[in-house]
Amino acid sequence: MTGTVRLTLAEADTLVHAALTAHGISEDQARAITDTVVMTERDGCPSHGMFRVPGYILSALRGRTTPGAVPVVYDLAPGVVRVDAANGYSPLALKVGRKPLAEKARKQGIAAMGIVNAYHFAALWPEVEALAAEGLVAFAFVMGQADVAPSGGIKPLFGTNPMAFAWPRREGPPVVFDQSSAARSRGDIMLHERDGKPIPLGVAIDKHGDPTTDPTAGLAGAQLPFGGYKGGNLALMVELLAGALAGGLFSYESSAVQPEEWGPSIGSEFMIAIDPARCGGGSAEAVLDHGEALFAQVLDQEGTRLPAQRRAVARAKSKAEGVEIPQLLHDRIAALARGDTALEEAG
């Protein structure tokens, strides 16, 4: 029971899709979730891959999410689109919003999209990568639950609030980063707790505001931003963009409405897409070639790599060899695909 199971990407797709649809998640929602989950597993990010499948289902079983939600797209301005996810999951909302966002960016040069009333279980990078794969420069900002103290404070207020950025390349996958405003992801601290390992200083404070290396005390206290006050400023910026500007919720508002215990609370996101051919650097090819000159300079130094380079390696490997997931996780998803919910209902 402690081994691993290897699945081809097609097998992983079939298994995840079957588990989701066996529990009332609509075909459209399930297709978008499955694509996101399998892509993330494929690219070597298991914490946001198939590991999340039970959470998607549990949140539906518990009546938190609307498993058949149909996102509604609003055209707010020549450069702004909004998607109301209608209490559903973020992958389908992103999928239906991506095309109008990209069209607006090409027409106006730059465009923005807010997504509200969505449950965001996923990594943020697939969202900007998809836009960069279409030749656009992209940003994404998503709030979370109140886990991180503001600079100088001791009580959780901000989410771990990642921002993601993607830059297209003429050949190969885009350059993409997706980074939390917190010093560590909450999941990472939870893994340290599970494994009985101390966390580094600077990652969290206990509930009295004192520095701690105890993951349990840190989870009960507050996480800290990365890079001191600068990370705290980025966390504040993400709250303002995803929460106030997009007309969604701040992390603390989301946490007040729904507890974090079994997956993300309802939330919102803000994205920006830019057409590199419209900003003054010449043709898209000229702008991207200029970018390549910088990447060559980075890679010319020993010990460097570009953001997402590790994911590109994992992707190539997974396409050839499939993905390897824990036996326990495989068995749980397989049971869910058979309609079994015992574990989820107890969870």
Among 21, 213, 233, 341, binds a second copy (CB under 8 A): 233
> Minimum distance between the CB of residue 242 and a second copy, rounded to whole angstroms?
10
Q: Is 133 in the site for a second copy (CB under 8 A)?
A: no
> Minimum distance between the CB of residue 228 and a second copy, rounded to whole angstroms?
8
The CA radius of gyration of the chain, in Å to the nearest whole number, is: 20
Distance of CA 216 to the CA centre of its chain: 24
Site for a second copy in 7-26 (CB under 8 A): none
Q: Pick the catalytic residue: 13, 23, 43, 48?
A: 48
Q: Is 170 in the site for a second copy (CB under 8 A)?
A: no
SS (H, E, C) the chain: CCCEEEECHHHHHHHHHHHHHCCCCCHHHHHHHHHHHHHHHHCCCHHHCHHHHHHHHHHHHCCCCCCCCCCEEEEEECCEEEEEEEEEEHHHHHHHHHHHHHHHHHHHCEEEEEEEEEECCCCCHHHHHHHHHCCCEEEEEECCCCCECCCCCCCCCECCCCEEEEECCCCCCCEEEEECCECCCHHHHHHHHHHCCCCCCCCEECCCCCECCCHHHHHHCEECECCCHHHHHHHHHHHHHHHHHCCCCCHHHHHHHCCCCCCCCEEEEEEEEECHHHCCCCCHHHHHHHHHHHHHHHHCCCCCCCCCHHHHHHHHHHHHHCEEEEHHHHHHHHHHHCCCCHHHHHC
Among 18, 86, 191, 245, binds a second copy (CB under 8 A): 245
> Minimum distance between the CB of residue 119 and a second copy, rounded to whole angstroms?
18
Q: Pick the catalytic residue: 28, 188, 289, 340?
A: 188
Closer of 26 and 309 to a second copy (Cβ): 309
Site for a second copy in 103-132 (CB under 8 A): 107-112, 114, 116
Q: Is 201 in the site for a second copy (CB under 8 A)?
A: no
Residue 9 identity: L
Q: Is 100 in the site for a second copy (CB under 8 A)?
A: no
Among 190, 240, 314, 335, binds a second copy (CB under 8 A): 240
> CA geometry: angle at 266 spanning 147 and 93, to 5°?
125
Q: Is 230 in the site for a second copy (CB under 8 A)?
A: yes
Site for a second copy in 55-74 (CB under 8 A): 74
> Minimum distance between the CB of residue 112 and a second copy, rounded to whole angstroms?
5
Closer of 48 and 330 to a second copy (Cβ): 48
Is 47 annotated as catalytic?
yes
Closer of 150 and 322 to a second copy (Cβ): 150
Q: Is 137 in the site for a second copy (CB under 8 A)?
A: yes
Q: Is 278 in the site for a second copy (CB under 8 A)?
A: yes
Q: Is 140 in the site for a second copy (CB under 8 A)?
A: no
| Residue 218 CA: distances (Å) to CA of 226, 238, 252 | 15, 22, 18
> Minimum distance between the CB of residue 49 and a second copy, rounded to whole angstroms?
22
Q: Is 79 in the site for a second copy (CB under 8 A)?
A: yes
Q: Is 179 in the site for a second copy (CB under 8 A)?
A: yes
Is 48 annotated as catalytic?
yes
Q: Is 80 in the site for a second copy (CB under 8 A)?
A: yes
Catalytic residues: 47-48, 188
